[in-house]
Chain A
Amino acid sequence: MKTRKTLVYTVFYILGVMLLLPPNAYAMHIMEGYLPINWAGIWFAMVIPFIFLGLRSIQKTINTNPGLKMLLGLAGAFAFVLSSLKIPSVTGSCSHPTGVGLGAIMFGPMTMSVLGCIVLIFQAVLLAHGGITTLGANTFSMGVVGPIVSYFVYRLAKKLGAPIWLSVFLAAALGDLLTYITTSLQLALAFPAQYGGILASLVKFMGVFAVTQVPLAISEGILTVVVFNVLMSYNKQELQELSVLTKEV
């Protein structure tokens, strides 16, 4: 009896969250002004070293291969456009930073922190997703944590002998999940619950966003595999030319 009641409440809760989400939700960008000023500053400070390292590694590759700057410019625009497309998912279609997993595998995590930061600036200015004061926090979750996780999961899975589709799927899906967990953590740290503190708050935020983000992570994983398959079967030469960036693929 009790489990049935819980089940009914869970269904109502999921329907409720889905009702609140408009068909075009950009749920995981922390919006402008949402974070208190001290947390906005802390996340900016956390991101700056990564941007600095990223710029240095880009500069190094550009010195030997000057055409790369154009490629990175187009890759950034590509990531922006992808984020404005809708990914099909079980809970309705939802727009999302699709490029994270794909970009990390192709360009390496350091480069992605710089590209991610620039793309987030344009998303804030041109689309009003995210914001300038929350730029640090959003860059940290989407430009630093997501790509690093994707990149190392991909490398690890390949080393363990997993087939390439599985490595790509795990890289994209786990990168996505970790991005979502990081954002929830950022929100929980900024707004600890009155009863139960940061942990209770984290459970609340993760619970609310899980409804959209878990199916999305799986969708994104599948999508990245499809993209990779198309690229591998029709554009192998380009991928090999690109390998200057990560020394392998």
Chain B
Amino acid sequence: MLNIDGFAYTNRLRQVHPLEKAAFAFITMFLCIGFSLPVFSCIIILLMAYAIIGLARIPMKVYLKLMSLPLSFLSIGVLTIAVSISTHGFGAAQLAGITISGINIGITHSGLHSAAGLFFKSLGAVSCLYFLSLTTPAVEIVDVMRKLKIPALFIELTDLIYRFIFVMLATAEDIYTSQSSRWGYASLKNSMKSLGQLTAALFIKAYHRSQTLFTALSSRGYNGRLNVLAPEYTVSVINIVIIAIVESTLAITAILLEMGKIG
């Protein structure tokens, strides 16, 4: 159903401490966004690809498919930045363009440059996010949030929502299958009606389920707090040293590249 979630439980880095994985993903991500250098972003994309395919053993085909998911937003977003619109033309800066009823639509060198930089930067950041979500189950990401002192109510709601996502998803899929097997999505009008009924049924099901859950919990002495034991992980000194070395190498590379660009 959600294949990212499946891989999070079965990958080779499952036993590594979640805080170590989160630190690795987020420090790299901030370096990637902090320094907007296309070459540096490409290094990060390759590094994360190695960590995901080589270390966590996620199949390459799956990973490539996941990396193509954000391309729809990215292609539109990047093209919008690459294309400039003006009423007085761009002069020599213009590489190509057309004029429609007095409005110039064109591509300029600097627009193209910033669009390309943004393209690689976003893909680099996305690969860092994929590293975290493909190697760390959501429950453990919530544990990391707990260590960051985020309010307890927020964490509890997050836990509850995660647990129910799968129940609701299965219910919605069952309803969808039975509707579409009765031509429920054969036309636009039918689709509207079916989807409306699905949503309403799902909402009422969620409502009743929450009531039964509360009854069940109250009868077992629920007092407003759901306490669960977090799985224990051993902190690995070697991992921390490796992460520190990789991150500082990345930071030095970025600074050198930045200086080279200026100089």
Contacts and interface: CB of A to CB of B under 8 A. Distances in A.
A63 B193 CA distance: 38
Interface string B98-126: 00110000001011001000100111111
B51 interface: no
Nearest to A17: B76
A90 B157 CA distance: 36
Contacts of B221: none
B14 to A, nearest CB: 16
Contacts of A124: 129, 133
Nearest to B199: A227
B213 A20 contact: no
B168 A21 contact: no
B141 A33 contact: no
Q: Is the interface of A mostly helix, strand, loop or mixed?
A: helix
Nearest to B126: A32
A76 interface: yes
A59 to B, nearest CB: 6
Interface string A125-137: 1111101110000
Given A34-B118, A122-B162, A194-B110, A6 B100 contact: yes
Nearest to A188: B80
A242 B211 CA distance: 12
A214 interface: no
Given A88-B185, A128-B66, A118 B85 contact: no
A21 B72 CA distance: 6
Contacts of B73: 25-27, 29-31, 34
B157 A118 contact: yes
Nearest to B216: A70
B80 A87 contact: no
A205 interface: yes
A102 B141 CA distance: 29
B209 to A, nearest CB: 6
Q: Is the interface of B mostly helix, strand, loop or mixed?
A: helix
A37 B34 contact: yes
Interface in A198-244: 200, 203-205, 208-209, 219, 222-223, 225-227, 229-231, 234-235, 238, 242
A208 B126 contact: no
B160 A73 contact: yes
B74 interface: yes
A118 B202 contact: no
B183 interface: no
Interface string B65-90: 01001111111110111011110001
Contacts of B160: 69-70, 72-74, 76-77
A208 B206 contact: no
A125 B192 contact: no
Contacts of B192: 88, 219, 222-223, 226
A160 to B, nearest CB: 25
Nearest to B198: A85
Contacts of B201: 230
A88 B199 CA distance: 14
Interface in A1-50: 2, 5-6, 9, 17, 20-22, 25-27, 29-34, 36-37, 40
B199 A82 contact: yes
A26 to B, nearest CB: 7
Contacts of A6: 100-101
B172 A85 contact: yes
B42 interface: no
Contacts of A234: 200, 204
A125 B142 CA distance: 11
Interface stretch (B148-156, B230-238, B247-255): B148-156
Contacts of A129: 69
A71 B165 contact: no
B2 interface: yes
Given A122-B162, A195-B84, A242-B207, 5 more contacts: A37-B33, A74-B210, A93-B191, A114-B154, A131-B125
Interface of A: 2, 5-6, 9, 17, 20-22, 25-27, 29-34, 36-37, 40, 51, 55, 58-59, 62, 66-67, 69-78, 80-82, 84-85, 87-88, 90, 93, 98, 102, 114-115, 118-119, 121-122, 124-129, 131-133, 187, 191, 193-196, 200, 203-205, 208-209, 219, 222-223, 225-227, 229-231, 234-235, 238, 242
